[in-house]
Amino acid sequence: MALFKNFSKINFTQTKFILGAFYNRNFSTEMKETTIDLQGQTINYLKVGTGKKTILLLPGALGTIWTDFRPQIEKLDKNKLTIVAWDPPGYGKSRPPKRTFDKNLYHTDAKLAAELMNKLNIPKYSLVGWSDGGITSLILAAKNPERIEALVEWGANSYIIKEELEGLKKIRDVSKWSERMRKPMIEVYGEAYFRELWENWVDTIEVIYKENNGNICKEILSDIKCPTFIIHGAQDAVCHSDHPTYLHKEIKGSKLHVFPDGKHNLHLKYADEFNDMVTKFIESV
């Protein structure tokens, strides 16, 4: 998950989406998830569609296939695209084992995502990553230029600023959240594991800030060679506006589009417009 720009401006609805809690029990009966073992880690994934272009959807922090990408999975044209989506290790149904965190968490996820696509025998694909998944996508694209055809990211950051860290620390204790804010995540994880995940994630962001001087992946952005589409919501209270501007500058030839009224979860609120933009971009490469 990209981090908090102005905590005081985040209302319940936005925070719920930020946490990947766009939760709905009525999963489509036509879309069956399955699991695969990768390096001793259970990975839950979904593969649908018959399109020539394959995309990998990467959710945000604590996010899952369905909490973060239901409008994309259900509405993207599956005759044009083949969609692969995953629950990152330790999230959603990608358990056991439990999620472990360290300051290399995004690099670890990028390696495992690449291994997933290897095991699925998909040599060429595009990345569509939101928030934490966007960070993972940046690293994956930089490390595997021969495999990645295109990159779409929104709500991602390649470094952490102090203001963002301080905003996170204010909400580290989930017992201080309202019941409405806690409930969706508890439905996915159970109360104890949700608390454990969230606290460990916030603590790890602090470790990155202190030990890496806030740097996540700034030094490898120039290694991204694929066509890149950076999308940003001008009203995003989570991802500071400096981040898309910085990424656009550092990734040669990248395209930047701003939704004037978009927030962190713009792909959910503006799903049809977002899906159309992404499809056209992926098809163009």
Half-sphere exposure of 127 (CA within 13 A, CB side): 34
Strand duo 148-154 + 125-130: pairing: parallel
Q: Which helix (H) or strand (E) holds 93?
A: none
Nearest to 158 by CA among 72, 235, 228: 228
Which member of 126, 131, 158, 254 is catalytic?
A: 131
Which member of 236, 243, 254, 267 is catalytic?
A: 236
By the 10 Å C-beta count (0-12 exposed, 13-18 middle, 19+ buried), 122 is classed as middle
Query: Angle 123-125-128 (CA atoms, 0-180°, nearest 5)?
Result: 150
Among this protein's residues, is 242 annotated catalytic?
no
Q: How far apart are CA 68 and CA 107, in angstroms?
A: 21
Nearest to 246 by CA among 116, 122, 127, 159: 159
Instruction: Determine the length of the chain.
Output: 285
CB 72 within 8 A of CB 57: yes
Among this protein's residues, is 173 annotated catalytic?
no
Strand duo 41-48 + 34-38: pairing: antiparallel
Q: How far apart are CA 139 and CA 191, in angstroms?
A: 31
Task: Identify the residue whose tokens are 């996010």.
Answer: 63
Listed in sequence order, the residues at least 6 apart from 270 whose beta carbon sits closer than 8 Å to its beta carbon are 259, 262
Nearest to 216 by CA among 137, 147, 273: 137
Lookup: tokens for 140:
């994956």
Among this protein's residues, is 236 annotated catalytic?
yes
Which member of 232, 243, 264, 267 is catalytic?
A: 264
The residues annotated with a catalytic role in the active site are: 131, 236, 264
